[in-house]
Chain A
C-alpha cells in the first residue's frame, strides 16, 4: 500500500515534470470544466511560467517520494501526501480564481495534516496550529484581493485581469497588489510573516519538509511573480521597492536566526526564509527595472530569481532529506548531541556537504551562479535615475553580501558540528547509514546541484525564455558561448566549468607533483592534539553554542540574548565546581513586538465582544429587534 501510494506520486511527479517541460518549451494548452464548480468552473492553462513551476514540483516530488519509500515511518500520512502533491501540481496551472483557491486550500490543508503527524506531541500540535492560522490569514488576504480584482474587472479569469490591468484605477490596483502580495508572502515565509516556517518544517516528516521548503513556499514566490509582474501589469515603482526591501530583510534576518539555531531542521527552515529573501531581491529588481523601461535588466533580475528558485528547491530538498537521515539515525534534532557522523554515514555526509556548499554559494555549485546573477542584476542600478531607488538597491546589495557571509558561517557550523569530530552522544555514536532509497534520492539531488552549477550556459537561456514570456519582451539578456556566461554585454562573465577545473587542478596538481618528486606516500594515523591532555573526550569539543556566540555578541541588539548560568559547587569548597550549565537563548523581536501585542489586542477584543454573549434569551431577541430597526431606518 505504501509502495503503491508513493509509486503513484512518483508517476504524478514524472508526468508533472514532462508537462511542465512542455510548457517551458513554449507549449500551451487549456482545459475547461465549467460545469464542475460555480464561479467560472475549473480552468487549467499551461504557460511558460506555470510550466516552469510545474516542472520544478515534478522534479522535486520524485526524489522526495523515493526517499519516503525508504523512510522508516513513511506509511503515515500517505493520503495527505498524495493530496498535497496533486494539489500543488494544480496551483501553477490554475487559470481562474475558483480553481486556484481550491487547489491552494487543498495544498494548505493537506500540508496541515502532514505537519500534525504526531498527534500526541504538544510541539507538533502547536506547530500545526500556528501554521493553520498563518496560512488561513494568508488565504483571507488572497480571497479578498482576488474578489476585489474579479469584481473590478468583471471576470474571475486571470487572462482577463492581465488584459484589463492597465485600465484599472490605481487605488484598486494598489489595494489588490497589497492584499495578494501579503497572502503570497505569508506562504513564501517572508519576514515578518515567517513564524510558521520554523515550527512547521521540523514537525513534518523529512520528505514532506523537503517538499514544503523546496516547493510549496516556492508557490508563494510563484504568486508574487504573477502579482508583481503579470496579472496587474506594470505597477508603480513602490511595488518593486517593497519587494526588494522585504527581500533584503528576509535574507538577513533569516540567516541571523539560522546562525543561533541548534535544531538542524529549524536551522534549515530559517535558511528557507533567507533564500526566499534572495529570490525576492531578484524579483524586486526586475519589477523596478521594468518600470524604468530597462527590459534587458528586468529580464536579468527575473532570470536570477527563477534560477535561484530552482536552485533552492534542489539544495534545500537535499539538505532536508540529509537532515532527515541524520535525525532518524540519531533520534534527535539537536546538533549539540551529534558529531562524528561522517564516519558512520559517509553517503549522507557527502550529500549534505554538497548541499551545504551549494546553499553557502560556493563556486562551482548552483547557489553561487544564481547569487552571482542576483548581484549583477542589483549592481547595474546605476542605470536608474532615481536616487531613492538606488538607495533601495544599495540596501539589497549590502544585505545580499552580508547574507552570503553569514550563510557560509552557518553551514560551517551545521556541517562541522553535525558530521565532524567525535560523537557527542551515545545516539550519535551508534548512528547508521540511511537506507538505499534515501541515499538514492539524496544522490540525485546532489547531482542536480552540481549540474545546475556547472551548466549555467545551458540553463540560463531556458529561464530567459520563461522570463521573456512573463515580461513580454525579447528573450535576450545574457549571452556567451557554451563555456562562458556573459551578462549584459561586457558587464560580467562567468565560467563555472573553468572554475571547477581550476579548483580540481589546484587539488590534484600538488598531489601529482609530490608523486613526481617521489615524496613518501605513507600515511600516519594518530590522535588529534589535545593541548597536552591525555584523555580526549567529546566534552572538550567546540559546540554549536560556542560557534554562534560571537555572532550573538555582534548582533546582540537583534538577538537580545538572555544569559542563564547554573553552577553547582562542590559541597566541600566553593573553589571546586561540580557542574556548570550555560545557556543563552535569544528572544524573537517579531514574537515580542509584533505577534504578542497583536494577539493581546485580539484577546482583549474577543473579551469585549464576549459581553454580548450574555446567555439571556431576551437580550438575544433584543439584538434582532435593534438590528431590524437599524437596518430599516438606515436603508
Chain B
C-alpha cells in the first residue's frame, strides 16, 4: 500500500509540475484531467487497501466531476482565448523554480506531521501538500482568469489528496459538499469570465487593475 500510494502521489506531483511548465491551455487542461484521474486512482487504491468502500465511490465521483465535467466546462471557457496567454520571451522557468522551492517547503512543514503519525501512507503526505501549495502558486502567477481557475482546481486537488492520505478521506457529507462547491465555483467562474471578456475583450488579469477605486 505504501508503494502504491507513494507512486500515485509522486505521479500526481509530476503532473502538477508539468502543468506549471506547459503554457498551452489545451495541454494544461489535459494534464489537469490526468491529475484528477491519478487522484481517483489514489482514492480507490487507498479505499481498497484500507477497506473503506466509501472511498471507491468518491473515486468514481472524482472521475465524473473532475475528470470529465470540469475539463469540459474549462474547455468551453477557454475556447475563445489564445492558446498561449504568456507573452513571448517569458518562460515558466522561474515559476518552476518556485514550485521546486514549495516542494521543499512542503516537506519541511509536514515534517512534524509525518514523524508523529504511523500511517502506511505517511510518505506521500508531503507530496500531496506540495500539490496544494503549487496550486496556490499557480493562482499567484496566473496571467489570466483561466490560470487562476486552474490554479484553484489544482489546489483543491492537492487538499483532496492530502485528506485521502492523512485521514483516509473525509466524511461523505463533507466530500459531497466540496465537490458541489468546486463544480459551482467553476460554473460561476465561467459566467464571470464570459462577462469579463465581453466587457474588456480580454481576460488578462492586468486589466482588472482598472477596477481599483
Chain A positions near chain B (C-beta within 8 angstroms): 613-618, 621-622, 624-625, 628-629, 632-633
Contacts and interface: CB of A to CB of B under 8 A. Distances in A.
Contacts of B139: 621, 625
Contacts of A621: 136, 139-140, 142, 148, 151
B136 A633 contact: no
A628 B155 CA distance: 13
Q: Which 3 A-B pairs have the closest CB atoms?
A: A615-B212, A615-B209, A622-B140
Contact of A625 (B137, B205, B208): B137
A616 B205 contact: yes
B211 interface: yes
Contact of A615 (B137, B148, B211): B211
Given A629-B105, A632-B109, A633-B105, A618 B136 contact: no
Interface string B182-213: 00000000000000000000000110110110
Given A621-B139, A621-B142, A629-B105, 10 more contacts: A613-B212, A615-B208, A618-B140, A621-B140, A625-B137, A628-B133, A628-B136, A629-B109, A632-B109, A633-B108
Given A616-B206, A618-B205, A625 B211 contact: no
Interface of B: 105, 108-109, 133, 136-137, 139-142, 148, 151, 205-206, 208-209, 211-212
Contacts of B206: 616
Contacts of A616: 205-206, 208-209
Nearest to A623: B140
Contacts of A629: 105, 109, 133
B87 to A, nearest CB: 15
Q: Chain B interface secondary structure, helix, strand, loop or mixed?
A: helix
A536 B160 CA distance: 95
A617 B109 contact: no
A624 B208 contact: no
A242 B134 CA distance: 57
Among B105, B136, B212, the most chain A Cβ lie within 10 Å of the Cβ of B136
B109 A633 contact: yes
A621 B147 CA distance: 12
A629 B108 CA distance: 11
Contacts of A625: 133, 136-137, 139-140
Contacts of B105: 629, 633
A632 B142 CA distance: 23
Contacts of B211: 615
A618 B205 CA distance: 8
A621 B151 CA distance: 11
B21 to A, nearest CB: 19
Nearest to B105: A629
A618 B109 contact: no
B205 to A, nearest CB: 5
Contacts of B151: 621
Contacts of B208: 615-617
Contacts of B205: 616-618
20 contacts: A614-B212, A615-B209, A615-B211, A616-B205, A616-B208, A617-B148, A617-B208, A618-B140, A621-B136, A621-B139, A621-B148, A621-B151, A622-B140, A624-B136, A625-B136, A625-B139, A629-B105, A629-B109, A633-B105, A633-B109
A564 to B, nearest CB: 41
B111 to A, nearest CB: 11
B204 to A, nearest CB: 10
A614 B151 CA distance: 21
A625 B137 CA distance: 7
Nearest to B98: A625
Contacts of A615: 208-209, 211-212
Contacts of A613: 212
A614 B206 CA distance: 11
Nearest to A631: B109
B209 A618 contact: no
B13 to A, nearest CB: 18
A614 B212 CA distance: 8
Contacts of A617: 148, 205, 208
A369 to B, nearest CB: 60
A633 B140 CA distance: 19
B101 to A, nearest CB: 10
Contacts of A628: 133, 136
B176 to A, nearest CB: 26
A635 to B, nearest CB: 9
B141 to A, nearest CB: 7
Given A629-B105, A632-B109, A633-B105, A618 B137 contact: no
Nearest to A633: B109
Nearest to B206: A616
Contacts of B140: 618, 621-622, 625
Contacts of B133: 625, 628-629
A614 B109 CA distance: 30
Contacts of A624: 136
A134 to B, nearest CB: 28
A633 B212 CA distance: 33
Nearest to A628: B136
A175 to B, nearest CB: 34
Contacts of A622: 140
A616 B142 CA distance: 11
A348 to B, nearest CB: 52
Contacts of A632: 109
A625 B106 CA distance: 13
A618 B141 contact: yes
Contacts of B209: 614-616
Contacts of A633: 105, 108-109
Contacts of A618: 140-142, 205
Contacts of B136: 621, 624-625, 628
B146 to A, nearest CB: 13
A616 to B, nearest CB: 6
